[in-house]
Structure 1
Amino acid sequence: MNIEVNEILNTYDGGLTWRSDYAVDGKFCVARLRNRLDKAHHPVGDGEFWWLNSVPKKVTSFVGRAKQGRISFAEALERRNILVTSPMCGLCADQIESTDHILTSCSMVKETLCMVLNWCGIPLEYFSGVNEVLAFARNWGHCPKKKETLTCIIYGTIWSLWKARNDRIFRGEILKPAKIMDFIKGTVFTWRKYRAKKGDTMDWDKWCVSPLTCT
């Protein structure tokens, strides 16, 4: 994170006095600091990570952990001597479950990602890992608004795939890619609608047809 400690709190008079740009009427204001954090760049693991205001904090945190390979997939749990029912992928059950497999390489995930790219009007791409798909979204195109929208959709896709994996393992619910796709559309639309700036509007019908033209 590109925020220096002395930007938040400074000492004067040999440490006897403390001053902060985030204080209001002599009291520290968390809202001011939160606003500054939202504007900061967040390096995660091997590169910069985009913290989007349009995405719930818990989702952004999850995607950040996935980027670092720090989510609790079956292979990781086994390495920590935690008993798991099966080390196989919770979606396809064909390969050992890992972060990159469960979120980018699984056959069911690949089909879902293809549907997402087609929905966005983007030529088909195949990804071998979470870092690769995040970098693709962050660097795609030249319009900042469309780039932010695509990244938001990718975050929503990663979150939805993880949810589908958990629903299959813990609830026995098997969702097909088309159903996951419906969930992605509705979830990301809700995020953006209720976190939009004052005056911005979201049209559901246009969103369902072409999300990158809604920005």
Structure 2
Amino acid sequence: MKEVDVVDHILLDCPLLFDTLVWIFNWCDILFQIFLSISDFVNFAATRGNYPKERKIFLAICYAYLRCVWKARNGVWFNRLQVNSSKLADNVISFIFNLMKRKGNFDNYK
């Protein structure tokens, strides 16, 4: 019988996503840690950094990660798309750069 995926596993814990998250943390030059829940992950992101703008940017990167993971999982499930950790990390980075371009480097980000 197939196990039912829970949201923490779907977004943080499966091997593909673990590798992607490690890649994103390395890109941000932040020491990786394991998160037991989405709330732990978001709380970490919201308090990371010494300056408010730095916290906003890292929090936005983490939200972009969650959004891109969810979108990729839907693509795999509904459209049988192939996803790997490097492509998923590239999607997160592209999403963030596009957001920064639209929002003016997060000056207006709320």
* TM-score, normalized by the shorter chain, greater than 0.5: yes
Q: What code does the residue aligned with 1:114 have?
A: V
**Structure 2 gaps, min length 5:** none
Q: Are residues 1:145 and 2:57 paired?
A: no
For 2:65, the equivalent position in structure 1 comes to 157
Contact 1:164/1:175, CA 8 A, preserved across alignment: yes
Q: Which is richer in strand?
A: 1
Contact 1:103/1:129, CA 8 A, preserved across alignment: no
Q: Which is richer in helix?
A: 2
Q: CA RMSD in A?
A: 1.6
Structure number, greater radius of gyration: 1
- After superposing on structure 2, the runs of 4+ consecutive aligned residues of structure 1 that deviate more than 6 Å are none
SS at match of 1:127: coil
Tell which has more relative contact order, 1 or 2 (C-alpha 8 A, sep 6+). 2
Contact 1:104/1:110, CA 8 A, preserved across alignment: yes
Q: What code does the residue aligned with 2:26 have?
A: N
Matched residues, number:
106
TM-score of the superposed pair, with normalisation by structure 2: 0.89
TM-score of the superposed pair, with normalisation by structure 1: 0.47
2:79 equivalent among 121, 146, 171? 171
Partners of 1:119 and 1:107 in 2: how far apart?
Answer: 18
For 2:88, the equivalent position in structure 1 comes to 180
Deviations 1:67-107 (A, max 9, x none): xxxxxxxxxxxxxxxxxxxx95xxxxxx5311111011111
